[in-house]
Amino acid sequence: MPTKATLIVAADQRLNTGNIRSLSLRYQRGELVRVRRGIYTDKATWLAMKPWERYTATVEAVSQELSGPGLCFESAGLIWGLNLVGVPEHVHLAGASPSRAGRTAPTTSAAFQAETQSTGLEKIRGYGVFRHCYDAETVTHKGFQVTTLARTAVDVIARSNFTKGVVLADHAVSPERFKGQACSPADLLRETDRLASGAKRRWVASVLAFADPRSGSAGESLSRARIHALGFPQPELQTSFHDDDGFVARTDFHWRKFRLIGEFDGDAKYLRDEYLGGLSSREAVLAEKKREDRLRALGFAVVRWDWATANDPERLKRKLAAAGLPAVGH
């Protein structure tokens, strides 16, 4: 389960109790981290969190500290729940005047502890604020002021490389994966027309042309973008297979000409209860093996890879080539 920081706002504590000295004392004793000015959280929890979780807490803290500024770019994408690759370096805010635009360094801090000779944050990445001289319509979503979903998606794609852009675009246009909020490709293309740069308009349009709502996960989208960039033939997505006993599988990738099936295996497939269908992890692995055996019996080769391979283009290239898939270039 994700770890969520409970933020303690000094102004609220003063209003409720008339006393904030206890926060300063706890901070000095090393019990609290000051995430932003006047906003604290439990230090042990902070140290146990993953980078994305600390970034999320920092976005929330900045929004409280600065009285609900308009979030944009990746920070707005986080609030919308879009699939983002990599943790941003800054909390991105829209609507700054030219004199106030620019980056500021992280302010997250903890008190130096004599017994450990450290603050505990020396190896923990902090997140600064980037104020953009950028006017865009904002809406309220989950209690935050954010740029609209379509504008956010287009803005992030325009700033991303092809792989990151495809991961986000596949997610944004998928009604199944982005339930109740998905943008149509037409919505995104209309938003693309508002970009000031012709080069960015063409770039976003090329990513959107490649986007496919059938992609089943961020890992599949990442893999598909890598496959394209490496010059391999594009696969068919979500192909269903049957044998004499009935339905066998719906596969992630299928290269019909080469009788090859590709499967992306995220760890969650075997570790998270919602993906196990009531099976134990061991039972799920055995069921997957039987499924693969039935596919092989139909005359298909099966190649599998994980996040580490999808994130390493050369490793993925070797795996696909070893499975008999030829690189054809672009």
pLDDT averaged over every residue in the chain: 90
pTM above 0.85, yes or no: yes
pLDDT surpassing 50 at residue 181: yes
Among the listed residues 210, 149, 143, 148, the one whose alpha carbon sits nearest the alpha carbon of residue 178: 149
Q: Match domain 218-322 to its CATH number in 3.10.20.600, 3.40.720.10, 3.40.960.10, 3.40.50.300.
A: 3.40.960.10
Q: Tell me, rounded to whole angstroms, the distance of Cα 177 from its chain centroid.
A: 13
* pLDDT in the model for residue 282: 59
* pLDDT in the model for residue 304: 94
Beta bridge partners of 253: 237, 262
* pLDDT in the model for residue 274: 39
Question: How buried is residue 323: exposed, middle or buried, by Cβ count under 10 Å (0-12/13-18/19+)?
Answer: middle
pLDDT surpassing 70 at residue 320: yes
Helix (H) or strand (E) holding 298: none
CATH 3.40.960.10 in the chain is located at 218-322
Least confident of 36-40, 146-150, 325-329: 325-329
